[in-house]
Amino acid sequence: MARNLYFLGTAGSGKSTMVHAFQEWMNSQGLDTITMNLDPGAEDLKYAPDIDSRDWVRIQDVMEAEGLGPNGAQVAAADLLALHASDLVEALDPFRSNYVLIDTPGQIELFTFRESGPALIDAFGRDESALVYLNDPLLVRTPSGFVSSVLLSATVQFRHSLPFVNVLSKSDLLPEKDLERVVKWSTDPYALYEGLFEDATTAKTLLDVEFLKGMESIGVYRRVHPVSSELAFGLDEIYNQVQQVFEGGEDLRPD
């Protein structure tokens, strides 16, 4: 049975680019993968999806048929796509692959806060599914931005109730010092707490370290793993984390 990996993150976090880079890396390791695009409004994808939601629902068609603007059409298209869940499952059936890499809509709320996202996950099967959450480096480079990303990722995790791999996308955009600091924040709530109060540009927060440690204890505050699609860096770590989820660390790569 194939494993479903859902790539989620805020707009501009690099989901589509990461799907493309990770597929190339997986294939180079002898692991067969297929890709699925669940964004009816996607343009200029770097990869050719094996299964493409645009074959059933397109934003432009929804705008014309319903007289909606771009935002309204995105919402309507997300809901319409759930009605085609059985068609997408049928399109998956002929493939025999290790992994399905699923590219979710650019606007994270369309997949996470509408009912269509969980409905599609249910249709594809939850037992062999995991989330790969992409933190945006330009957001998490400040203490307050990092906390915001943690809270959003926690919401995504609670909403979908799936195993969770936490990555820092586009890590090559951060200077080494900033990158080290972000990773430290993700492993040490005390360091993040200190950063919040040392940053003169950050509004003082009522957040306390016990709250951050509480999030850590329930599994939503966790280490971020730096990756870069551009440099093909850290992709092996995504694979390692995925194997921890599905196989307890057992490596499925051929010898």
| pLDDT single digits (tens) 47-81 | 999 999 999 999 999 999 989 998 899 999 999 99
pLDDT of residue 208: 62
pTM of the model: 0.91
List of long-range contacts for 90-93, beta carbons under 8 Å, 24+ apart: 91/51, 92/2, 92/36, 92/51, 92/124
Q: Are 229 and 14 in contact (CB under 8 A)?
A: yes
Q: Which domain holds residue 230?
A: 3-136+163-174+221-245
Alpha-carbon gap, residue 133 to 10, rounded angstroms = 9
The alpha carbon of residue 195 and the mean position of all alpha carbons in its chain are separated, in whole angstroms, by 26
Domain-embedded: residue 202: no
Question: Residue 99: how many CA atoms within 13 Å on its side-chain side?
Answer: 26
Domain count, the chain: 1
Of 99, 119, 116, 136, nearest to 6 (Cα)?
99
Tell whether 41 is covered by a domain.
yes
Question: Residue 38: inside a domain, yes or no?
Answer: yes
Residue 89 placed within a domain: yes
Residue 11 lies in a domain: yes
Q: Is residue 32 part of a domain?
A: yes
In a domain, 141, yes or no: no
Determine, yes or no, domain membership for 179: no
The CATH number for 30's domain is: 3.40.50.300
The mean pLDDT value of the chain amounts to 89
Angle (CA) 159 149 241, round 5° = 70
Question: Beta partners for 99?
Answer: 3, 33
Lowest-pLDDT range, 87-96, 164-173, 187-196, 207-216? 207-216
